[in-house]
Structure 1
């Protein structure tokens, strides 16, 4: 709810999000606020914003992925501190690599790496399992409906759905 209102101007200026989509996003974000604890609310709100941008533009903005990192800092556990350096180094490497003009965006990989940092390895494995099942079912649907052979679909909404199902 709060993040949706904060990012309305940004979404309007950069991605031309209509008012209908904004109100839908505000409604879903309000449900997240009611149903989930604060940590998950912020993660889900950011994933919702990412999903809408990914559906419209097929990109995942880096700064939205980076917004997930302060959530980990707020809820840091001293026993996990040593294990957090490896994914942080990996995520930093991905950001440096994507800043180079190699045609390599890898927004979904960076998003999954940020979720790994915030929620941990066990959660990421569960998320990837549910994500794989959802993508498999969507692929079967496309095969049955005999759509085009080349499919391009945004992964952001499927990551959000997988997060909700866990």
Structure 2
């Protein structure tokens, strides 16, 4: 671990409500929402606020920090885009803070849920977000994905 001071993405005093307002529109674009389990959401957001207070960033509370900034960046919450296949299959992220929009409200929080077999549809962007002629590059895990919209088709 280097002696450099880590960059703070969040100001001291960031609250759970601040995090929710910051994260909600982002995860919605990926096809996720906050868990309907209010206790899980409150507990997890409070844990992330504590992590922000000590590190300056919103690391996932259920992942171990390694001290390697590049590796630890894979655990910045919300990390849905980095683990899209796993989370899509389980219907939620590791800690259960976010669930897929099509997940049932009674889904058990956390990755204790049964992971279905076979291919799973993973939303990477909404077609309506691209204008005609627009292209977008996405990096999801180790995959590079190019999206294009031409004459209303995608």
Which structure would you say has the larger RCO, counting Cα contacts within 8 Å and 6 or more residues apart? Answer: 1
The answer to which structure has the higher strand fraction is 2
